Amino acid sequence: MATITTKKLFTVDDYHRMVGAGILSESDRVELIHGEILTMSPIGTRHMAAVDRANRLFVTTLGDSAIVRVGGSVRLDRFNEPQPDIVLLRPRDDFYVSATAGASDIFLIIEVADSSLEYDQGIKASLYAERGVSEYWIVDLKSGVVMTHSGPAGMSFRTVREYRRGDSVAPQLLPTCNVQIASLLP
């Protein structure tokens, strides 16, 4: 007799109840992707430095034009609550205390890739495109490039560009925020 197995997918509400019950803690490096709780890569010093540099750059450049969220989650749907390295959000007076930020609140998601490039280019890019995130950047620390993804269409982005030191780029929804690529790389 054949045994049929199925996965138990967790919802965002299940995920948060696990934190409340002490199964997961706020300090656990996990995120909910397609209903599965995934462990994220450890953060090294180069990764931390890149996130800190980007945080300072966007906070000082954007001021009140956007909320800069570092390492926090965004709720994309019932089964997906990733924790990008940096998210630029539409400003809200309550800083999203009354409702979790979703795809329509996002100006830009940035993932810093040191050991996670394949994951960020594959699963994360597909997820962000499919859920309608308008723009997604990957800061590739090993290659010293920033890959920008825009124009979500199905499970991919229509436009992917690569920028190097010496180049500059602005997020599409924040065109006055001109970013020197070198400023994102440690």
pLDDT digits (tens, 9 = 90+) for 93-125: 999 999 889 999 999 999 999 989 999 999 999
Do the strands 86-89 and 145-153 form a parallel or antiparallel pair, or are they unpaired? unpaired
Q: Tokens 């180069």, residue?
A: 46
Distance CA 22, CA 24 (A): 5
Q: Tokens 């890569």, residue?
A: 41
Mean pLDDT value of segment 136-146? 97
pTM above 0.85, yes or no: yes
Asked whether the predicted pLDDT for residue 9 surpasses 80, the reply is yes
- Give the CATH H-level superfamily of domain 41-184: tt1808, chain A (3.90.1570.10)
For residue 45, the one-letter residue type is T
